[in-house]
Structure 1
Amino acid sequence: MRNVQVSKGKPLDWVSGQPVTDEHGRLQIIKNDDLEELQELGSGTFGTVYHGKWRGSDVAIKRINDRCFAGKPSEQEKMRNDFWNEASNLADLHHPNVVAFYGVVLDGPGGSIATVTEYMVNGSLRTALLKNSKSLDRRKRLIIAMDTAFGMEYLHNKNIVHFDLKSDNLLVNLRDPQRPICKVGDLGLSKVKCQTLISGGVRGTLPWMAPELLNGSSSLVSEKVDVFSFGIVLWELLTGEEPYADLHYGVIIGGIVSNTLRPQVPDSCDPEWRSLMEQCWATEPSERPSFTQIAVRLRAMAASQKVQS
């Protein structure tokens, strides 16, 4: 198999897994023998995710389908290069509200590839909203929104656009009954590695996608696409529901592109929450706040709630 070029120009043999790190020592090659799979958490086009142990610590192991690297030799090499460079970049990220990326496995069953990341005990926010809706009061939902904003502020300051921010890609730990923890996850490797997704086109998941991603104005795409998605996440936190669950995809696309479709906001919605949410999903990217501004507003909402209570 061809060698892959590590970022900064250092070669890596994909089969042997040498060298163990690039010259910054930031991306770790994890031996498959050091991993223990405990439970399957889910699967998709990219492969299968497991809750596992890595030398005694809880981790999430994502086994990537071989077909994600299928194609002509030149295409395979490009995809593996992309994979390696993206993995190196993810290993550089360190923030309490971004899921930690530990390393890659190159010697999985049949030479398969896997990624190893931080394990979040309660899974996705989507799952938590379905299972723990009654225990997630307004204060806790506000904390989850703040955590998400802090994580996204960090990523945008690193010039990283998520492109697929949604409750399924936000991971939570609800063990502390007073203080839920939320972290931004799925920053690319789990989904952009399948050839159909790598080779381009649209990135994201329809109900959370900003109009500029769908209407052909790709030159206007900026980090504000994540802010639009966050507006939909705020609605998910508010209602516990899935956006446009009863609508056909064609109707959703048409509604987003024509800017006639947004989730229905309940009358009981707090005015400040409504104002922030609607500004996040504004049609014009320039009218959407930055995550720094969003974090300031959420902090103020949390402070005023403490005063009221």
Structure 2
Amino acid sequence: MAFPTGMSGFSAKSGLRPETTSEDIFSASKDGDELYCREWIMNPDNDINITDQHGFTPLHYACMYGYPNIIEAFFVRGAKTDIVNMGGDSLLHVASQHGKYDMVVKILRSNPDVNLANEHGNTPLHYASFWNYIGICEMLVKNGALIVMSNKYGDTPLSKARPRLRKKLEALAAEFDQSLVIVPHKKVRPMRKNDYLDFKQRQAEVEKSQVTMSIKIGQGSYGETWKGSWSGHTVVVKKLKTKGDVFRSTLRENFHHEYTRLRIFNHDNILPLIGVIIEPQVHTIGIYMKLGSLYYILHDIESEIKVNLEEGIKFCRDICHGMAHLHSLDPLIKHFDLNPHHVFVDEDLTAKLDLPHTRFSFMDNDKVFKPSWMAPELLQHRPEDFDKKAADMYSFAIILWEVSTGKIPFADLSPMHAGTKIARDNARPVIPSFVNHHLQRIIDICWNADPNKRPRFEKIQPILDKLEVS
């Protein structure tokens, strides 16, 4: 089918959904095979943001063909919603081009760039306007899409609209106070590269001879932490203690299952465990973060990052998104303790949960570290006797307090005394009066004395996303 006359840079709509029987994630996303997609997504070895030769992800195809349940499954598991194909098309581009109104509504909930231009300079509204999808046009404009943004050929959504839609767009421009002065063409954002793809494609088990441990940067109850290199990348290597330094077959089997679940490469706010050394002693390998932990950034005078409240809340949003993903996993990763020592910050100032800090079953998990961030019930009961999700929300509340005040919780107490006061007296840090009243309310809700009344992370996400603290 030829390009429509006078519509340079626009490709024609696809025809009927292709017939396919090959059982792979791309064809399953095109065919609407929800069961296959869900099983594939649940496998931690699969890259949820995998792309084909054209840069399309499975989520692109699910949006293109209109399968809301598959899209929701990808969203819940942390698939990137801002990824673009090799032509610069976002999820919103393909859903708008193919007239999938419900998909557009669902995608808009993730707050995408509605004016993102592809390689031709076309925004999602260009496509919806050209194909006369009036409902989609209205929804896009209500979410900030520009009616007169020019593509690289000088076409705007308004100039390519049919008469009825043109009147509608002009009315929307007046309603939302949009100028009809043409907005120049925007350059295309380059396709985002998955920085961990190289690690994702490698085997997790590594020979010790392949890893160089150059600088010892920490010593703790569970072992030593080293800065090193592996396969040309700077990494963090944790040399872990085992009980009696014996790693029996049963422990090895459990460990293999546990570390495999920590190779989560599909979420922007999670640092995966990228490799392990098993012999002669257990080591875990993670991504090295130059800026350090959130605790270091917040409280160490030598940190090169000085955090204001707005930036601190942004870190909390990142943590919230990462924790919502971890809590969507079944079974739950039970031994990742949420505190600022286990959150690291990338050079683009994105906070990431560091999964190599997860404790394994062969470790002594009865000991308590960093009690100032732990929920009372966690300090009082065995793991099977409390709600881990509610306990994590308490820890998140302490971090919110921390970024709001710039202080260390229970800084005047030793860890043992802090843990005792929290467990015995249900103590909380005092919220100063200068803390934003919206933040005060969120903190109070999140560290509620009754764990059953604390919200889940997926409920807090939209509240934090809309929170203004300036």
When normalised by structure 2's length, the TM-score is 0.52
1:102-181 superposed matches below 5 A: 102-107=274-279, 111-129=280-298, 130-131=300-301, 132=303, 135-158=306-329, 159-173=332-346, 175-176=347-348, 180-181=349-350
Is there any run of 5+ residues in structure 1 with no aligned partner, and where?
1-24
Pick the structure with more strand per residue: 1
Is there any run of 5+ residues in structure 2 with no aligned partner, and where?
1-200
CA distance in 2, matches of 1:195, 1:272: 40
Cα gap change, 1:69/1:52 in structure 2, threshold over 3 Å: closer, same or farther? same
CA distance in 2, matches of 1:258, 1:45: 25
Compute the displacement of 1:117 (Å): 1.2
> Match for residue 59 of structure 1?
235
> Match for residue 253 of structure 2?
81
Give the conservation status (yes or no) of the 8 Å contact 1:26–1:92: no
CA distance in 2, matches of 1:287, 1:136: 31
CA distance in 2, matches of 1:91, 1:138: 32
CA distance in 2, matches of 1:99, 1:185: 5
Give the conservation status (yes or no) of the 8 Å contact 1:27–1:87: no
- CA RMSD, Structure 1 to Structure 2 (Å): 2.8
Identity %: 26
Amino acid across the alignment from 2:244: A
CA distance in 2, matches of 1:118, 1:295: 26
Cα gap change, 1:93/1:156 in structure 2, threshold over 3 Å: closer, same or farther? farther
CA distance in 1, matches of 2:439, 2:216: 36
Greater relative contact order (Cα < 8 A, sep 6+) = 1
* SS of residue matched to 1:28: coil
CA distance in 1, matches of 2:212, 2:395: 35
Give the conservation status (yes or no) of the 8 Å contact 1:215–1:257: yes
CA distance in 2, matches of 1:104, 1:134: 31
> Match for residue 69 of structure 1?
243
Identify which of 95, 98, 102 aligns with 2:267: 95
> Match for residue 47 of structure 1?
223
CA distance in 2, matches of 1:91, 1:163: 14
Cα gap change, 1:210/1:163 in structure 2, threshold over 3 Å: closer, same or farther? farther
> Match for residue 266 of structure 1?
432
* SS of residue matched to 2:464: helix
> Match for residue 214 of structure 1?
379
Give the conservation status (yes or no) of the 8 Å contact 1:26–1:91: no
> Match for residue 300 of structure 1?
466
**CA displacement, residues 96-116 of structure 1 (integer Å, 9 cap, x when unaligned):** 111121111134xxx122111
> Match for residue 243 of structure 1?
409
Amino acid across the alignment from 1:126: Y
2:459 pairs with 1:285:
no
Cα gap change, 1:156/1:203 in structure 2, threshold over 3 Å: closer, same or farther? farther
Compute the displacement of 1:77 (Å): 3.5
